[in-house]
Structure 1
Amino acid sequence: MKLYSAKQIYKADQISIKKEEITSDELMERAALQLFNWIHLRMQGAPVKIHLFCGIGNNGGDGIALARHLLDHGYNISVYVINYSEKRSKDFLINLERLKTRKCWPSFISSDDELPEIGKDDIIVDGIFGIGLNRTPDDWVAKIIQHLNKSEAFILSIDIPSGLFTDQGPENLEAIIKSNFVLSFQTPKLVFFLPQTGSFIEQWEVLDIGLDPEYLMATETDYELIGNNEALSVYKPREKYAHKGTYGHTLIIGGSYGKMGAVCLAANAALHAGSGLVTAYVPKIGYSILQTSLPEVMVLTDSNEDLLENIEFDFEPTVVGIGVGMGTNNKTVTGFTEFLNKNKKPLVLDADALNILSKNKSLLKKLPENTILTPHPKELERLIGTWKDDFEKLDKVKKFTKKFKCIVVIKGAHTIVVQIDKGYVNTTGNPGMATAGSGDVLTGIITGLRAQGYTALDAAIFGVYLHGKAGDIAVESTGYQSLVASSLIESIGSAYLDLFKIPEHPVVEESKGQ
């Protein structure tokens, strides 16, 4: 699913109006009807007090039009207009007059007015600001937003929580509505999935308001949302007459004294992801550990007993995953550098491989094209520097991938895969995956997919999806607190099978973390 910018949505509006020969007011009415139908289907005229807080732009116009439909169907409503500007949109004014014909006069709230009382069992409809917000709300408007957030009432936001920008980070976190549910027109917004802004949204659902499908399909976006359909389109089915050599030979390099578990997890995950053969290259101390715990994995050892020093092997792997549990000992840094000087194979880099790169930036130039890097937030910061907000972070990652011709997997609640100017936002995963070894499993899955012939980009996107889906399946039997990395590996097969399930219900997304 494409994630459109505010400018692209506005253009879609204009094209739809022109092609269908309708007015902008008629398009607003279409959106308002979708909002009403969604609410009415769930409430069926329940005697609940609904407070509609509307701005004076088109988002407020949607709210005013919604109020008319609610009133016509007997709902108990109060309408408030946040009078933050003397300017009003044309369609807001049209719908305001229509509401007045029902003898419903909104309360206009200005900077010095008292705020209405809201019961904790009431419902708030937030239509104050939309996707066109381009500056931080005034202090007095921020106080209204804080009042709504503290009310304990259920908050339903129209299109986007008021106070959030669509294409930039927020400046005042106290001036943003905390929405229990967002009804987003045509497409979700990128800010729903970023760490800094996603916490303002508990759940969201898309309402199709009939924007021009030809324009939407033809328009390229900077970000795409990866769900089941997108993952299934990447999936490579097995051939009947294939053999283990058909699906590649994965080499996992890593481990040090006390950290052999990371290699076990990564190697096992590569097997479960479908790699035909897997070899682990570890310090001598890891030989018995690997041979005992993973009989399917072949083992080669370094000359050093406790750490990696001389990374040398006498076969041609399809792909190399390196860094898990490796450590950053000076001898290991030297061995890793020599390995990069000689290596010609595709790479997946994680953990200490990234930490070594961040301290020796010249080594980045030695990476083969389309190398996949899988940093967690601190590892990413060491590579690209600090950022003021998530949008600056994404911009820096894009520049980094362009400079070094690589792919970066930004791990988080909604992991984002970035290559040059494009980002792919994952929808699977949950807070239980915030556990030791989860990243090692992801490295193994991506490396195992790369061995099977997936392109670097597809391996990263599909690997992240499978990893999160395995977590979603595993957590159903473990709960968040008891989910461990080994459970993710055990659920990879179920994650593959889940690709072919037909959804039973429309997509409703919850804000989730890994």
Structure 2
Amino acid sequence: MKIFSKEQIYEGDKLTAEKQQISSTDLMERAGSQIFNWIDLRMQGAQVPIHVFCGIGNNGGDGLVLARHLILAGYNVNTFVVNCSDKRSKDFLINYDRIKNVTKKWPTLLKCKEDFPAIEPQDIIVDCVFGIGLNRPVDEWVKNLFLHFRGSKAFTLAVDIPSGLYTDKAVTDEDAVVHAGYTLSFASPKLVFFLPETAKYTVQWEVLDIGLDPEFLSTTQTEVQLIGKNEVLPNYIPREKFSHKGQFGHALIIGGSYGKIGAVSLASRSALSAGAGLVTAYIPKCGYNVLQTALPEVMVITDADDEKITNIAFDIEPTVIGIGVGLGTDTKSQKAFEAFLKTNKTPLVIDADGINLLAKKKSLLKQLPEETVLTPHPKELERLIGSWENDFDKLEKVKAFSNKYKVIIVVKGANSITVFDNTLYVNTTGNPGLATAGSGDVLTGIITGLISQGYHPVVASIFGVYLHGKAADIAVEDYGYQSLIASYVIDNMGQAFIDLFKQPELPEQVEAEEPKP
């Protein structure tokens, strides 16, 4: 799914009006009607008080359309205009007149804290105060209104975006943003719904179709894409009946040190589970018996040293190399890593201490093959690119780093983001159970295993992150968040692949009883 910028959404609105020969007011009518349909379907006429708070721009105009339809449908509606400026949009004024024509209970004008209405916990708040066009801090009294919403404990539904939240920059005062239980967004979700610092402002979201021009939606290129099943499925490479293991590559996992052989075991096993034809682990001698016993499917090459990797030398020709898991940052391991990079031409996936070693000596970054995949957790990412002020600053620095060194970066988090060529691929699978030791090693193995089979490194990163999260989502059904461990993610990789081809379950149809004779 594409995630449009606010500028693209404005362009889409304008183009739709021109091509469909409708006015902006007509488009606003569509938007407000769709919100009404969504609410009406769920409330079925229930007389719970609904408080619709409208700003004086186009988001407020959407709210006035909604309020008018709710009134005409007989709902218990209270409409408020948040008078935060003297400037009103044309379409707001048109719909302000329209709502006055259908009710004697005109919208209440709010100008200060003393005007705030009483809101009970069982009521519903609809937030239509500010939309995506907000570009300045909100007034103090409006911030107090948002705090009033939160203090009421009432369910809050935001229209398009929670008011006070920007689409393209960080929030400086979290009290100046509406905390929504649900957001109905037009055209596409907003990037801020998926970033660590701003996702908290809406618990759930849904996209409403307001009939924007189909050609615009299909041909417009976006810098952000939301990745779900529909996005990864076309990239799946099926297997032919007469295929053999030699067609699916040979993945080499390099890493491990005394006490950290488990990291290599997890990465090697997950590479196999992702479909690599062959997997070899390159480890220090101390891990030989462990790995040969635990993973009979994996071949093993050992370093001359018992406890750490000191010299990376092998006589195989791997398709791809995953390096860094459990490697450690010992001086001898660092020298071995440096020497390896200077001669290596094989595609790479680098994680954990491999990233830490790159961060310690940035000149090594120039040795990386183009489209090397880096999979840092937040602290490793900070060592690599430096500190950041906020999520937007972080993403800009990641894009700059990716462009400079021509590398793919997986920014791990609740919604992991794969970054390459100025494009952000935002993942939708995964859960808090992945916050556990070894889950990053599993991801490294999955991506390595996919590249081994011939997936392009960008596709392998996007697909691998999706499968990793999906396997965890399946596993968590049995184990819960706290008891989910990395091995369970590998155990459910098969189910993650199978799920790609599952059709959504339809609700069961209840057959009517035949009339009795």
User: Match for residue 188 of structure 1?
Assistant: 189
How far has the Cα of 1:114 moved from its partner? 3.4
User: Match for residue 509 of structure 1?
Assistant: none
For the residues of structure 2 that align with 1:504 and 1:74, how far apart are their CA atoms? Answer: 35
User: Match for residue 71 of structure 2?
Assistant: 71
Q: Which amino acid in the other structure matches residue 15 of structure 1?
A: L
User: Match for residue 31 of structure 1?
Assistant: 31
How far has the Cα of 1:367 moved from its partner? 0.3
User: Match for residue 249 of structure 2?
Assistant: 248
User: Match for residue 52 of structure 1?
Assistant: 52
User: Match for residue 394 of structure 1?
Assistant: 395
8 Å Cα contact 1:82-1:110 kept in structure 2: yes
Which aligned runs of 4 or more in structure 1 are off by greater than 6 angstroms? none
User: Match for residue 157 of structure 2?
Assistant: 156
How far has the Cα of 1:326 moved from its partner? 0.7
8 Å Cα contact 1:125-1:155 kept in structure 2: yes
Equivalences, count: 506
For the residues of structure 1 that align with 2:125 and 2:466, how far apart are their CA atoms? Answer: 35
For the residues of structure 2 that align with 1:8 and 1:502, how far apart are their CA atoms? Answer: 32
For the residues of structure 2 that align with 1:129 and 1:363, how far apart are their CA atoms? Answer: 47
For the residues of structure 2 that align with 1:326 and 1:443, how far apart are their CA atoms? Answer: 13
For the residues of structure 1 that align with 2:141 and 2:157, how far apart are their CA atoms? Answer: 21
TM-score, normalised to structure 2, is 0.97
How far has the Cα of 1:112 moved from its partner? 4.7
For the residues of structure 1 that align with 2:320 and 2:335, how far apart are their CA atoms? Answer: 21
Deviations 1:211-265 (A, max 9, x none): 0110121111101011101110111111221110100000001111111111111
Q: Which amino acid in the other structure matches residue 223 of structure 1?
A: V
User: Match for residue 106 of structure 2?
Assistant: 105
Q: Which amino acid in the other structure matches residue 135 of structure 2?
A: N
Alignment of 1:407 with 2:383, yes or no, is: no
For the residues of structure 2 that align with 1:168 and 1:88, how far apart are their CA atoms? Answer: 24
CA change 1:478–1:112 in 2 (3 A) is: closer
Matched residue of 1:199: which SS?
Answer: helix
User: Match for residue 88 of structure 1?
Assistant: 88
Q: Which amino acid in the other structure matches residue 86 of structure 2?
A: E
Deviations 1:182-220 (A, max 9, x none): 111121111111111111111111100000110121111
8 Å Cα contact 2:113-2:145 kept in structure 1: no
User: Match for residue 218 of structure 1?
Assistant: 219
User: Match for residue 8 of structure 1?
Assistant: 8
8 Å Cα contact 2:329-2:357 kept in structure 1: yes
For the residues of structure 1 that align with 2:227 and 2:282, how far apart are their CA atoms? Answer: 33
Residue pairs, 1:263-302, within 5 angstroms: 263-302=264-303
8 Å Cα contact 2:323-2:354 kept in structure 1: yes
Residue pairs, 1:287-366, within 5 angstroms: 287-366=288-367
Q: Which amino acid in the other structure matches residue 9 of structure 2?
A: I
User: Match for residue 43 of structure 1?
Assistant: 43
How far has the Cα of 1:138 moved from its partner? 1.6
Q: Which amino acid in the other structure matches residue 233 of structure 1?
A: P
Deviations 1:406-433 (A, max 9, x none): 1000000000000021110001011111
Matched residue of 2:234: which SS?
Answer: helix
Q: Single out whichever of 364-373 and 385-394 deviates more from structure 2.
A: 385-394
Matched residue of 1:424: which SS?
Answer: strand
Which runs of 5 or more structure 1 residues have no equivalent in the other structure?
A: 507-514
For the residues of structure 2 that align with 1:149 and 1:505, how far apart are their CA atoms? Answer: 37
Q: CA-atom RMSD, angstroms?
A: 1.0
User: Match for residue 206 of structure 2?
Assistant: 205
CA change 1:36–1:448 in 2 (3 A) is: same
Matched residue of 2:308: which SS?
Answer: coil
For the residues of structure 1 that align with 2:81 and 2:234, how far apart are their CA atoms? Answer: 46
Which runs of 5 or more structure 2 residues have no equivalent in the other structure?
A: 508-517
TM-score, normalised to structure 1, is 0.97
Q: Which amino acid in the other structure matches residue 426 of structure 1?
A: N
Q: Which amino acid in the other structure matches residue 485 of structure 2?
A: V
Identical aligned pairs, as a percentage?
61
For the residues of structure 1 that align with 2:504 and 2:63, how far apart are their CA atoms? Answer: 31
User: Match for residue 141 of structure 2?
Assistant: 140
For the residues of structure 1 that align with 2:104 and 2:430, how far apart are their CA atoms? Answer: 49
Deviations 1:98-122 (A, max 9, x none): 1111222111111353321111111
